Amino acid sequence: MLKIVFLSLVNAAAIWAAVVLLDHHKWRAVVVLVVVTVLIDAIYLVKRWTLPLKFLIPGTVFLLAFQVIPVLYTVNVAFTNYSTGHILSSSEAIANIKENSLSVAANSASYSMTLMRDDKQHLVLALLDEDSGRTFIGTKDGLRPIPRDQVTISEGAITAAQGYSTLQANALGGLDQELSSYKVPIGGGKAIEPQGFDTAVVLEPTFRYDERENAFVRIKDGVVFKDNGRGSYVAPGGEEIEPGWKTYVGARNFGRIIHSSLIRGPFLKVFIWTVVFATSVVLISFALGLLLALTLNKPGLRFQRTYRSLLIIPFAVPAFLSLLVWQGLLNDDFGVVNRALHISIPWLFDPTWARISVILVSVWLGVPYFFLISLGALQSIPAELVEAARVDGAGALQVFRKVTLPLLLVAVAPLLIASFAFNFNNFGNVYLLTGGGPAMGDSPIAGATDILISYTYKIAFAAGKGQDYGLACAIAILIFIIVATISAVSFSRTKALENLA
Amino acid sequence: MSTAERQAELAVPAAAERRRKKGPGISDTWWRHAIALIALVFALFPVAYIVSAAFNGDNSLSGSSLIPRKVTLDNFRSLFSGQQNTTGHATFQNAHYLSWFANSMIVAAATAILTVLLGALAAYAFSRFRFKGRRMGMLSLLLIQMFPQLLAVVAIYLIVLNVGDVFHFMGLNTLTAVILVYLGGALGVNTWLMKGFFDTIPAELDESARVDGATPAQVFWGVVLPLAAPVLAVIGLLSFVFTLNEFVIASVILETQHRFTLPVGLWQFIDQKYSEHWGPFAAGVLIAAVPAALLFAFLQRYIVQGLTQGAVKG
C-alpha cells in the first residue's frame, strides 16, 4: 500500500519534472530522469532479487545527487577557468561580444526620432535623416522607408505618420528600459539605436568575427584577437575581449598555486596557519581536558558530579552561538574581557592577537569534549595496573608517564586524529569569530586567521573581488588530499602504537 | 562540533560514579577543587555573561556587565514585538529574528527526520540482507563521506544555481534546496551506527514475523523501527544539532533576510550593528540555545534509558 503511494508520487513528480525540463530544452536531463524513474519503478515492482535495493535506493538517490555529484563536479570545475568573466559557454560568449561591440560610428548619420506605436501597439521609431531629409520607420525587425506624403514634419522632426500613433510626452516615462535595449538592425552588423527620446544614431560593430579562424578582428585597426585556449580572445599585445567563456584549462589552476606569486604567497601562509591552528587546538584542548579529567577522577572527591555537569555546559550550546558571543566578549572597545581585566588588547584586530583569540575560543569549545573522552578512557584503565606500578615503587609522575598515558593514548589517538581533521576544516571557528580577518597587507583576499577552507570560500564567494570557482575547487581538492594523507599516515602510526602497548 | 565527535562523546558512560566512600580530607584535595573552579570560571563566564546581558536594561555592549543593573524583559519583548522597546533603542531586527528561528527549526527538523528515515532504511538492508556488494557498499559510504560537503560547497552552489533556473522551488534562496543538500549526507557514519544497533536486535524476531506472513517492509516498519527507537532518537537529535549549526552551505544558498537560518542571520546581524544591539542579541542567543540545550539534556537521558532498558516490548 505504502509502496503504491510512494511509487505514484515518484512517477507523478517525474512526469511533471520531465515536462518542465522539456520546456527548457534540457534534453540530456530528460533522458537521465526517464532512465532513473524507470529503474526505480523496476526495482520496486520486480519481486525478489531487488529486495535490498528497495531499502537502499531512497538514501542513495540523495547521496548521489548531493554528495557524489558535487564531488565529481568539484573535480571537473577545478580543471576549468570557471570564474567571473568566464561563465558563458563559448558560443554564448561569441554572440555576446558581437552584440555588445556596437559603438557609434565615426562619421555616423544621426536621425531625428519620434516614438510611435503601430496598430499592434508595438513600439516603433519614426526616423528623419536630417541631412538627406529621407524618412523611415524602424522596428526591431529592420528599417523601411516611408514616403514623405504619409508623414507630417514640423521643426525638424516627424510629428505624425499614417498608420501609427505618436506617443505623447507623458507616455515616455516608463519606456527607459525598453528603449535602452531597442535596436533596429540595418544589415552588415550595424544597427540604429535610440539616444534619449528624440535622437537615434547608427551603431556599427567594432569587432568582426572570423568564423574560419575563430578570431575577432578589430575593424578600425585590423588587430586580430585570437582564442588563447584559456577561454579568452586575446590580441598579440595582451589585450582581452570581455567576456571570456568557460573552458577546460588543464591543471592550470593547480599550476597557479605553485607558480603565481600572487596566489602562492597567501596560500603558503594560510596553509601554515591552518596546520598550526589545527595542531595547537587539538593538543591544547586535549591537554587541558586530560588535566581536568585527572584532577576530577579521584574517587570520593566532593562535588565531582556537579563539576562534571557544569563543565560540559559549553558543549550543550550550539557552537555558532558561542562563537558569535565570543566575538562580542573580545571586542576591543566594549568587550567585557578587556573591561573586566582592565586591559586593552586588540583581540580581533591585530593579526597575532586574532590568531591567539581563534585558538583560545576553539580551545574553549573543545575542552569539554576531550574532558569527557579522557574521563571515559581513564576510568577504563584497570586499577590493578596502576596499583602494581605503585607497589613496584613508581612515583605518581612515573605512573602517569609509564602506565596511564600510553594506555590512554591508545584509546584516544584515533579521536585526536579525527579532531585534527575536523579542525583543519573548522570553518565556523574562524569565520564566525574573525571572518578570517584582519586583512593581511599582501593579499586582497586572505586574512591573518583564514584557514584553507575559509580562504577557499572567500575566493569563490567574496563579494566585489571577482569569483574564481576554478581556483576554489582546485584548493578544495588539495585540502582533501592533505587531510586524507595526514589522517591515513597517522592512523597507520596509531596501529603501531597499539602493537606496542 | 562534528557529528562524529558528538557520537564519540556518547560512548563515554556515566558509569564513573563508583563507590562513594568517605571522601579524602580537604587538605590533600584543595588543589583539585582549585583547578576545577578555575576551569568552571573559564567555561561558564561567557554563558553567565550572555544570560545577564539578555536581562540587562542597558542594551549596548559597553553598558553590559556581569550583574545586570536593572533586570528587565525588554530585550525579549523587542524580539517579538514589532515596536521599539521602552528604552527607546531601535529594536533588534525583530521580524527577521522570528523568521530565522522558524527557518532553522524547519530545516533542522526536516533534515533530522528524513536523515533518520533514509539512514534506517539503508541500515536495515545492510543488517538483514546478504547481497553482492554489501561490504563494498558499506565501505564506500565511509569513503565517500571522507570528502565533506563543506569542500564541495562551490560545486553545490553551482548545481543549485543551475537547477534553480529550471525548478525554482529548489533553487537559490529556498529552504528546500538547503534541506535537500543536507540530505546528501544522510548516509554515512549514521548508517554504520544504526546498522550496528540493528545487528543487536535478534533476527528471530524478524523471522517469526515473516512466518506470520509479514513482508520485509512490514517487518521493517512494525518490528525493527520500534525496537530501534533509542538509536533513532539519538541520531535524529545529533543530526538536528549539527544542522542547526551549519553555516557554510546555508550562507551560500540563502540570499535574503527572511530566508536566513539563525547562524546566517545572526552572523550578518552582528557584523553590522553589534555593539548597539547587544541586549536584544543576547536575548536572541538565549532563545536560540534553548532547543539544542533541551535536546542535549533529553539526549543524555535517552541514551541511559536505551542502554539500561534495551528491553523488547510486544
pLDDT digits (tens, 9 = 90+) for A135-145: 888 888 888 88
Residue-wise DSSP of B2-63: -HHHHHHHHTS-STT-----PPPPHHHHHHHHHHHHHHHHHHHHHHHHHHHHHHBS--SSTT
- Return all residues near A420 (Cβ < 8 A) that are at least 6 apart: A278, A279, A282, A486, A487, A490
In this structure, which amino acid lies at residue B290?
A: V
> In whole angstroms, what separates CA A369 from the centre of its chain?
31
Rounded to 5 degrees, φ, ψ at A114 are -130, 135
**Does B252 lie at the interface with A, CB-CB under 8 angstroms?**
yes
The CA distance from B101 to A499, in Å, is 50
**Which of B36, B156, B247 lies at the smallest CB-CB distance from A70?**
B156
Instruction: Note the Cα A110 to chain centre separation in Å.
Output: 47
Contact A418 B158 (CB under 8 A): no
> What residue in A sits closest to B178 (Cα-Cα)?
A66
Whether the CB of B113 is below 8 Å from some CB of chain A: the reply is no
H helical segments located in A260-350: 261-296, 304-311, 313-316, 319-329, 336-341
Cβ of A307 within 8 Å of Cβ of B158? The answer is: no
- Contact present, A156 and A165 (Cβ < 8 Å): no
* Cβ–Cβ below 8 Å for B122 and A453: no
Residue A137 in grid coordinates? 520607420
- Contact list in A for residue B122 (CB cut-off 8 A) is 55-56, 58-60
- What's the pLDDT at B304? 43
pLDDT at B311: 29
- pLDDT given at position B314: 26
Residue B125: list chain A partners with CB under 8 A: 52-56
**Chain A environment of B137 (Cβ under 8 Å):** 56
- What residue ranges of chain A have pLDDT lower than 70? 47-49, 106-108, 442, 463-465, 496-501
How close A363 comes to chain B (CA, Å)? 10
Q: Does B307 reach chain A within 8 Å, measured CB to CB?
A: no
CA nearest A296 in B: which residue? B32
The pLDDT value recorded for residue B27 is 64
Q: What residue in B sits closest to A301 (Cα-Cα)?
A: B23
**C-alpha cell read off for A326:** 565570543
C-beta atoms of B288 and A2 within 8 A: no
Q: Is B184 on the interface with A (CB under 8 A)?
A: yes
CA separation, residue B247 to residues A88, A321, A454, B182 (Å): 29, 11, 12, 12
Give me the residue from B148, B181, B285 closest to A325, CB to CB.
B285
What is the count of residue pairs from A and B with beta carbons less than 8 Å apart? 293
How many C-beta atoms surround the C-beta of residue A85 within 10 A?
18
Residue among A24, A435, A472 minimizing CB distance to B166: A24
Distance from CA of A410 to the nearest CA of B (A): 15
- Give me the pLDDT at residue B90, please: 46
- For residue A464, the model assigns a pLDDT of 60
Name chain A contacts of B157, Cβ cutoff 8 Å. 460-461
CB atoms within 10 A of CB A223: 14
Asked if the Cβ–Cβ distance from B180 to A62 is below 8 Å, we say yes
At residue B301, the pLDDT reads 59
> What residue type is assigned to position A91 of the chain?
S
User: Which residues of chain B fall below pLDDT 50?
Assistant: 1-23, 83-90, 303-314
First to last CA, chain B: 38
Residue B89 DSSP one-character state: P
**DSSP H helical segments within B72-188, as ranges?**
74-80, 94-128, 134-145, 153-166, 175-183
Q: Do B149 and A327 touch (CB under 8 A)?
A: no
Residues from chain A that touch B249, judged by Cβ atoms under 8 A, are none
Contact A161, A116 (CB under 8 A): yes
Interface contact B262, partner A, CB < 8 A: yes
Q: What pTM value is reported for the model?
A: 0.81
Annotate A71-103 with DSSP letters as a single string.
HHHHHHHHTB--BTTB-S-HHHHHHHHHHHTEE
| Residue B112, pLDDT score | 94
Cβ contact (<8 Å) for B36 and A67? no
Nearest by CB to A62, from B39, B183, B245: name it.
B183
CB distance from B4 to chain A under 8 Å?
A: yes
Contact flag A460-B165 (C-beta cutoff 8 Å): no
Q: What is the pLDDT, as a whole number, of residue B60? A: 62
CA atoms of A168 and A108, how far apart (whole Å):
28
Q: What is the pLDDT of residue B63?
A: 59
* Cβ-defined contact of A418 to B66 (cutoff 8 Å): no
Considering CB atoms only, which of A304, A367, A373 is closest to B9? A373
Which one of B147, B165, B178 makes the best mutation probe of the A interface by having the most chain A beta carbons within 10 Å?
B147
Residue of chain A whose Cα is closest to the Cα of B145: A67
Binary contact (B151, A425; C-beta < 8 A): yes
- Under 8 Å CB-to-CB from A19, ≥6 apart: which residues? none
Distance, CA of A224 to chain centre: 35
The CA distance from B126 to B118, in Å, is: 13
Q: How many CB atoms lie within 10 A of CB B100?
A: 25
